[in-house]
Amino acid sequence: MLYLDHAATSPARPAVLEAMHPFLTGVYGNPSSHHTVGEAASEALEWARGRVAAALGMRPSEVIFTSGGTESNNLAVKGIVLGALQEDPQRRRLLTTPIEHESILRSAEYLHRLHRVAVAMLPVGEDGVVAIDDLRIALDAADTALVTFGHANNEIGTVQDVTGLMAVAHEHGAPVHVDAVQSAGWLDLRALGADAVSIAGHKLGTPKGIGAIGVRSRVPLEPLLHGGGQERGRRSGTENVAGAVGLATALDLAETERAQSIAEVGAQTGAFIASVLDAVPQAALTGSPDHRLPNLASFTFAGASGEAVLLELERRGVVSSSGSACAAGSDEPSPVLLALGIPAEVAQTSVRFTFGRTPLPEGAAQHLAGLVADAVAAVTA
């Protein structure tokens, strides 16, 4: 079985599990406990915090450990906007895009519904890119509490011009949150300079249930979880020490391998995209052809049900998806694809392939494209 759904989750890496193991058995103390066992756990937690901070280009004190990407995004969007409202009740405007992860969009809905926050959606082009001029037009220095967008989209792989967008936002005094759940390990997060950055471990090779968010100390943040005051009062709850160590280890490994992974997996993905477009007449690549993640290829196959293609591929030993795992099972067309201007009937034909960090054997991309062509032919015959 060939697993090509790494955007949903990746298997835990052996080196990560090995690093985590001592903190599940030997060093098992509560890091808030004031005894030798607890202090050993606390030291490990702070080591992990330092390594994650280095990967995000932030100070260790600015890193908050969470349960994953969804919690990180909720804390960023709700926490920063509510923090801004505490300082200035007039700052009740949130800018985002219609192609964001559900954790961003549902958080925005919550703020609008219960806190009367005005949510403005920035348009995206047919490639999923946010135009800098559109952000400039939408910004109002007097009332914008936060600008939030994904570094790389989880369905189409488009990578945003974070530097350009952030420069405009900062000109207008608006903080920027970047959802880097998909880009972590593939793109350099240290150079972003964002005010807040979210990541999730299970996309990088940790077990599920660990994530982090970096939030600059200058940005007001209202906690969502209250209790024992862990994470400097910004996220109460006993920390997952083993998970934090695993996340730090996974980030270190990804950073060490990043250049080679981009070169090798990027070339493989490019060959796969070209082969699919050549072999399947109705195939169309979604997202930006130039500014995209090196491991993600998403297509629509006009006239072929995407779910039927997925079943045919699985019969041929290939596991992929039709988009975000958080929307799996829905019969509705992807809101991301609709936002790109793709008709609903075509959006329902989409299939996403996401490769891992280890390239497939030589010639595998062309063979895989042949299997895709066979699967599409089978459902359109």
**Active site (catalytic) residues:** 326
Strands 2-3 and 196-200, by their bridges, are unpaired
d(CA 236, CA 232): 8
Task: Characterize 277-287 residue by residue with b for buried, 16 or more Cβ atoms within 10 angstroms of its Cβ, and e for exposed.
Answer: eebbeebbbbb
Helix (H), strand (E) at residue 354: strand 350-354
Tokens of 83: 């923090």
Euclidean distance between CA atoms 191 and 207, whole angstroms: 27
DSSP E strands, 260-320: 283-285, 296-301, 318-319
Give the Cα separation of 333 and 337 in Å (integer).
8
- Alpha-carbon gap, residue 138 to 134, rounded angstroms: 6
Q: Which of 295, 300, 262 is nearest to 281 (CA)?
A: 300
Report the distance separating Cα 2 and Cα 204, nearest Å: 18
How far apart CA 97 and CA 120 sit, in angstroms, is 8
